[in-house]
């Protein structure tokens, strides 16, 4: 449904009810924390080790080292995320969210033991007395090694330039270059401001793609990775896991320089930006860093948000009109600060504006969160980079859903739509003001967000914006006004009983509307989409959007979340299963005519697709999958014209570029990738691949 | 030319035979359906204990439904199997028991007489098969029934 700010009334905060809810919650925790004689922190940690091995190790690793199914819970990554918080907050998070499938046999005492085990494993060594549900010391203060490290000046290593070199004859990147990229370049996440993921290069085409051969391969740093390389003027700028950027000769694969901006973790970042003479990088701990594109030397750095409060980045910025614009992730915590999109001066990093994605009680849209106090309004992450229309001076972003995932967990109803979550927001790049928004799925209830890329398409006089979220619905809106123009269901969905063809308003199934705590709801698609972070492509010559899709379903059960400042979370148990009617095919590529919104062709296979789709002037569309296959389809009919097999799962964003007049196709093999990885891991268990092998592969035609 | 009595009789007999054959053909017209059996909803904690796969072919003739299939790879012995009524991905009640081999792998069979409502449900993809096992009494394999392609 489309809203404008003028028709949204303001609401006042109702604190009395919330205060009583908090009081009830505290009382419950006190009861749970009754002291048992003889119990110590050490005995709790020992008991927790057993509970961890049974319920947690499958995803987080026996030694908390993390796996492709679950994040690392030890070392610097843990201290960064949890060091400034308390055991009580950690307990609340784990109780609300883990294990993902739920387990009624885990008691509150078991959860406290788990916390003790995690803290003990992370070097908490000053605690003797037993933990309770309300233990509130600062975790890092009780890790001797962390305290000692604070007293040393030396930063963790490696840091900064590790390989020195210079890009010769560098020509600064101008606004004009970004508005109309050279056909040889791929100078931003999806190549162009309109996010078409389309290269006009046509040397490689439907007639000769069968002759593609490997030109060079470069092993990347290990860790979670969903990269979108940039290529500008023959240089590839590559974001690696752990906030490492490399500059490579795009023709030969020779490394020119490398910079470890830090933190040196194994976390992923999808993209970086180039502008003027700088590579601009968002870091996983929510900083923004500019490097000299010639040498990799750091030019400026600024903090976007406080990572100790959970804020992070997983996608990098877009540079529009001289401003570095980026979103935020990690906004599920009950803290006064909310998620925002921010713009920074590209030359200095100085903050120019912020747009908050969560409406506070006294702001326009503030009355769409029921009577929830501002501190308990969470979600609205902008974890996928937006697009930009230079003529309209509008930048388009998707926002994630409210948190926790289910209305009953967030103490709201299906009528509390929670602006500006799960929407397309169009923001003026000069002012940061909201020009219009369209909320695709109000009061989202299944962890199916609509946050992904906004693809800008012109058809005649129409200026359109397309998006495709986890419900698998391709949305068409007017990008000047936000007006709903149409939709297409690309995979089976049974969450909505109706989608209004005139307004686009969705109606949830009744049992989803009224889902209670700990009540299982079965729905399709699952939280891996429909569609997820893998970008779709628009092939303008044929007027089709070709999207990488996924076909799985879930059972979802809401968990209780106390309204306690510092708490929050996602709070649902989930189970996953094959989507009925797909014959077990998790992967689907669908091509859709943007005028008729009809499916032109589709292709299905067992293995899920793990890259964006990339189309070219040679009428090809490239995509890679979990089963290590990288394929080229005929964009007009879906026929597979070429495929090869890489070292591990093919994941990231394929690109095409040219050097000295010769066209290349590049793609990354990578691990990690959040739910699109973890859901197939429990459904298509027969698909195995090496647990290492992050790399970029570059293909070309033989000379 | 006019038809004589003999010719008319032969024509009438041929016409009767043709109508009878067409009618019999219509009565014998069968609809074939298929269910792919795959693990019930699972998690990283249960993925090694909810296992297996299978395929069931169902033939509908009038209201008679013949069920024949096989399964393998379950985590423990099958204990029972049922035909359920529920839209795709939405579990619903049991409508008929099915014969199942009481082993981790085996066959699943039944000759059923469906009600008209159940035939309608079949054609709307609103029936599914579920096999229960010793270690997964709530169900280990499940598959919705669709017209066979």
pLDDT in tens, A276-333: 999 999 999 999 999 999 999 999 999 999 999 999 999 999 999 999 999 999 999 9
Residue with tokens 């909810």: B50
Residue B38 lies in a domain: yes
Residue A688 has pLDDT above 70, yes or no: yes
pLDDT on residue B2: 45
What are the tens digits of pLDDT across the range A182-206?
999 999 999 999 999 999 999 999 9
Q: Is the pLDDT of residue A275 over 60?
A: yes
d(CA A105, CA A204): 58
Question: Is the whole-model pTM more than 0.95?
Answer: no
What is the least distance, in Å, from the CA of B46 to any CA of chain A? Answer: 9
List CB contacts of A13: < 8 A, sequence separation 6 or more.
A361, A362, A371, A373, A374
What pLDDT was estimated at residue A151? 65
pLDDT tens, position by position, B35-71: 999 999 999 989 999 999 999 999 999 999 999 999 9
Interface of A with B in 568-597 (CB under 8 A): 574-581, 583-584
In 3D, which of A66, A196, A79, A211 has the Cα closest to residue A544?
Answer: A196
pLDDT value for A44: 87
Task: State the maximum Cα–Cα separation within chain B, in Å, rounded to a whole number.
Answer: 85
Q: In whole angstroms, what is the distance from residue A368 CA to residue A97 CA? A: 25
**Which of A623, A608, A629 lies closest to A550 in space, CA to CA?**
A608
Q: Tell me which residue has tokens 């994941």.
A: A651
Q: Does residue A23 register a pLDDT over 80? A: no
Cα dihedral value A9, A379, A440, B91, nearest 10: -120
Range of the domain at B114: 30-147
A31 falls in which pLDDT band (50, 70, 90)?
Answer: very low
Q: Chain B residue closest to A57 (CA)?
A: B45
- Chain segment A119-166, per-residue pLDDT in tens: 988 888 888 889 988 888 888 888 877 777 666 655 566 899 999 999
Sign of the Cα torsion A593, A598, A604, A608 reads positive
- Comparing A45-59, A582-596, A664-678, B112-126, the range with the smallest average pLDDT is A45-59
Question: From the DSSP assignment, how many helices (H) and strands (E) are in chain B?
Answer: 2, 8
Please, what is the Cα angle at A623 between A198 and A677, to 5 degrees?
Answer: 125
Residue B9 is assigned to a structural domain of this protein: no
Mutate to test the interface with A, among B35, B38, B40, B45 (most CBs of A within 10 A): B45
Instruction: Please determine, for residue B81, whether its predicted confidence score (pLDDT) is greater than 90.
Output: yes
Within 8 A of A575 by CB-CB distance, chain B residues are 41-43, 46
Q: Hey, how many other C-beta atoms are within 10 angstroms of the C-beta on A345? A: 14
Q: Using CB atoms, which residue from B43, B143, B144 is nearest to A682?
A: B43
Closest residue by Cα to residue B108 from B88, B132, B134: B132
Residues of A in contact with B46 (CB under 8 A): 101, 575
Share of chain B above pLDDT 90, in %: 79
Taking the mean position of all CA atoms in its chain, how far away is CA A243?
16
Would the CB atoms of B36 and A685 count as touching at under 8 Å? no
% of chain A with per-residue pLDDT over 70? 93
* DSSP character string of A367-380: GGSTT--GGG-EE-
What is the ipTM metric for this complex? 0.86
| pLDDT of B145 above 80 | yes
- Domain ranges, ordered by start, for chain A: 33-150
Report residue A10's pLDDT band, with 50, 70 and 90 as the boundaries.
Answer: very low
Flag whether pLDDT at A76 surpasses 80: no
Q: What is the pLDDT of residue B79?
A: 98
Report, as an integer, the average pLDDT of A233-242.
97
One-character DSSP codes across B27-91 = HH--EEEEEEEEEPSB-TTTTTTS--EEEEEEEEETTEEEEEEEEE--SS-EEEEEEEE-STT--
Mean pLDDT across the stretch A356-381? 97
Contact of A6 with chain B, judged by CB distance below 8 Å, is answered with: no
Q: pLDDT (tens digit, 9 = 90+) per residue, A499-548? A: 999 999 999 999 999 999 999 999 999 999 999 999 999 999 999 999 99
* Mean predicted lDDT score pLDDT of chain A: 91
DSSP reduced 3-state for A245? strand
Token pair 């007639």 is found at A207
> What does pLDDT average to over chain B?
89
pLDDT attached to residue B5: 53
Under an 8 A CB cutoff, do A101 and B43 touch?
A: yes
Q: Dig out the tokens for A17 from the structure.
A: 């009810």
User: Is the omega angle on the peptide bond into residue A52 within 30 degrees of 0, that is, cis?
Assistant: no
The first and second tokens of residue B141, run together, are: 């394999």
| DSSP codes, A547-594 | EEEE-EEEEEEE------TT-B---EEEEEEEPTTSTT--EEEEEEET
- State the nearest Cα–Cα gap between B55 and chain A, in angstroms: 10
With CA atoms as reference, the chain B residue closest to A554 would be B41
> What is the CATH architecture of A33-150?
Orthogonal Bundle (1.10)
In angstroms, what CA-CA distances link A586 with A309, A526, A579, B125?
36, 11, 8, 19
Q: Is A21 left (phi over 0), alpha (psi -120 to 50) or beta?
A: alpha
Residue B17 lies in a domain: no
CATH code for the domain in which residue B123 is found: 2.60.40.200
The Cα A612–Cα A226 span in angstroms is 10
Shortest CA distance from B36: residue in chain A: A583
Residue B18 lies in a domain: no
- Rounded to whole angstroms, the maximal C-alpha distance in chain A is 78
Q: Strand, coil or helix: what is A422? A: coil
From A525, which residue of chain B is nearest by alpha-carbon distance? B89
Beta bridge partners, A2, equal A438
d(CA A322, CA A395): 13
- Band of pLDDT at residue B7, cut at 50, 70 and 90: low
Chain B residues touching A55 at Cβ < 8 A: 45
Q: Number of folded domains in chain B?
A: 1
In chain B, which residues touch A (CB < 8 A)?
36, 38-47, 87-91, 125, 128, 142-144, 146
**Better-scored residue on pLDDT, A82 or A76:** A82
Q: Is the pLDDT reported for residue B19 higher than 90?
A: no
Tens-place pLDDT, residues A427-483: 999 999 999 999 999 999 999 999 999 999 999 999 999 999 999 999 999 999 999
């Amino acid at each position: 449904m489309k809203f404008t700010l003028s028709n949204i009334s303001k609401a006042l905060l109702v604190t009395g009810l919330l205060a009583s809810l908090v009081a009830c919650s505290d009382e419950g925790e006190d009861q749970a924390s009754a002291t048992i004689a003889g119990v110590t922190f050490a005995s709790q940690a020992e008991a927790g080790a057993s509970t961890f091995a049974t319920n947690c190790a499958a995803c987080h690793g026996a030694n908390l080292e993390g796996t492709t199914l679950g994040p690392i819970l030890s070392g610097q990554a843990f201290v960064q995320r949890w060091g400034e918080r308390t055991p009580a907050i950690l307990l609340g998070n784990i109780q609300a969210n883990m294990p993902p499938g739920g387990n009624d046999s885990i008691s509150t005492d078991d959860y406290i033991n788990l916390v003790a085990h995690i803290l003990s494993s992370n070097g908490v060594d000053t605690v003797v007395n037993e933990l309770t549900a309300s233990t509130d010391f600062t975790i890092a203060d009780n890790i001797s090694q962390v305290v000692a490290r604070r007293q040393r000046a030396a930063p963790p290593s490696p840091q900064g330039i590790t390989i020195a070199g210079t890009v010769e004859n560098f020509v600064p990147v101008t606004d004009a270059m970004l508005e109309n990229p050279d056909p040889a370049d791929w100078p931003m996440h999806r190549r162009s401001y309109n996010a078409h993921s389309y290269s006009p290069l046509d040397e490689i085409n439907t007639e000769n793609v069968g002759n593609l051969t490997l030109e060079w391969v470069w092993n990347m740093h290990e860790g979670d990775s969903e990269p979108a390389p940039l290529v500008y003027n023959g240089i590839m700028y590559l974001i690696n896991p752990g906030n490492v950027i490399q500059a490579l000769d795009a023709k030969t694969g020779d490394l020119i320089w490398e910079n470890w901006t830090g933190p040196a973790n194994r976390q992923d970042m999808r993209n970086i930006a180039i502008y003027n003479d700088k590579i601009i990088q968002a870091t996983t701990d929510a900083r923004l860093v500019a490097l000299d594109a010639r040498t990799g030397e750091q030019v400026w750095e600024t903090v976007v948000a406080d990572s100790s409060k959970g804020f992070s980045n997983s996608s990098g910025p877009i540079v529009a009109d001289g401003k570095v614009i980026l979103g935020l992730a990690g906004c599920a915590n009950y803290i006064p600060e909310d998620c925002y999109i921010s713009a920074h001066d590209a030359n200095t990093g100085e903050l120019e504006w912020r747009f908050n994605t969560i409406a506070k009680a006294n702001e326009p849209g503030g009355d769409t969160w029921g009577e929830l106090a501002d501190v308990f309004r969470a979600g609205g992450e902008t974890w996928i980079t937006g697009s930009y229309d230079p003529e309209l001076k509008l930048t388009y972003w998707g926002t994630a859903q409210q948190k926790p995932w289910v209305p009953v967990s967030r103490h709201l109803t299906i009528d509390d739509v929670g602006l500006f979550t799960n929407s397309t927001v169009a923001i003026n790049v000069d002012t940061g003001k909201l020009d219009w928004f369209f909320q695709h799925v109000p009061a989202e209830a299944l962890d199916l967000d609509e946050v992904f890329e906004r693809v800008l398409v012109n058809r005649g006089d129409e200026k359109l914006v397309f998006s495709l979220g986890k419900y698998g619905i391709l949305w068409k809106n007017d990008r000047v006004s936000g007006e709903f123009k149409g939709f297409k269901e690309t995979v089976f969905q049974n969450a909505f009983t109706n989608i209004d063809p005139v307004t686009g308003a969705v109606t949830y199934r009744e049992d989803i509307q009224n889902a209670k705590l700990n009540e299982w709801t079965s729905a399709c698609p699952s939280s891996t989409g429909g569609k997820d972070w893998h970008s779709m492509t628009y092939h303008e010559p044929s007027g089709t959007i070709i999207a990488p899709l996924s076909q799985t379903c879930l059972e979802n059960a809401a968990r209780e979340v106390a309204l306690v400042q510092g708490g929050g979370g996602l709070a649902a148990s989930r189970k996953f299963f094959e989507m009925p009617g797909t014959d077990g095919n998790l992967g689907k590529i669908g091509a859709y005519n943007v005028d008729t919104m009809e499916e032109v062709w589709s292709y299905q296979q067992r293995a899920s697709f793990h890259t964006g789709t990339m189309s070219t002037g040679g009428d090809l569309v490239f995509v890679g999958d979990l089963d290590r296959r990288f394929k080229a389809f005929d964009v007009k009919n879906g026929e597979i014209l070429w495929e090869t097999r890489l070292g591990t799962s093919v994941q990231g964003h394929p690109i095409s570029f040219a050097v000295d007049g010769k066209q290349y196709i590049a793609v990354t093999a990578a691990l990690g990738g959040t739910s699109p990885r973890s859901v197939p891991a429990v459904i298509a268990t027969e698909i195995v691949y090496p647990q290492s092998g992050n790399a970029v592969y570059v293909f070309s035609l033989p000379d | 030319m006019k038809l004589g009595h003999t010719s008319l009789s032969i024509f009438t007999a041929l016409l009767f035979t043709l109508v009878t054959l067409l009618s019999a053909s219509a009565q014998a017209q069968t609809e074939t359906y298929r269910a792919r059996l795959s693990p019930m909803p699972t998690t990283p904690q249960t993925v090694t204990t909810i296992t297996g796969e299978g395929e069931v072919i169902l033939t509908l003739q009038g209201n008679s439904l013949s069920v024949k299939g096989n399964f393998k790879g379950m985590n423990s012995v099958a204990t029972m199997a049922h035909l359920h009524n529920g839209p795709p991905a939405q579990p619903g009640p049991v409508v008929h028991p099915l014969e199942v081999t009481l082993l981790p792998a085996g066959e699943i069979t039944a000759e059923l007489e469906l009600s008209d409502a159940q035939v309608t449900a079949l054609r709307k993809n609103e029936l599914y098969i579920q096999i229960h096992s010793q270690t997964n009494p709530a169900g280990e394999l499940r598959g919705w029934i669709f017209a066979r392609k």
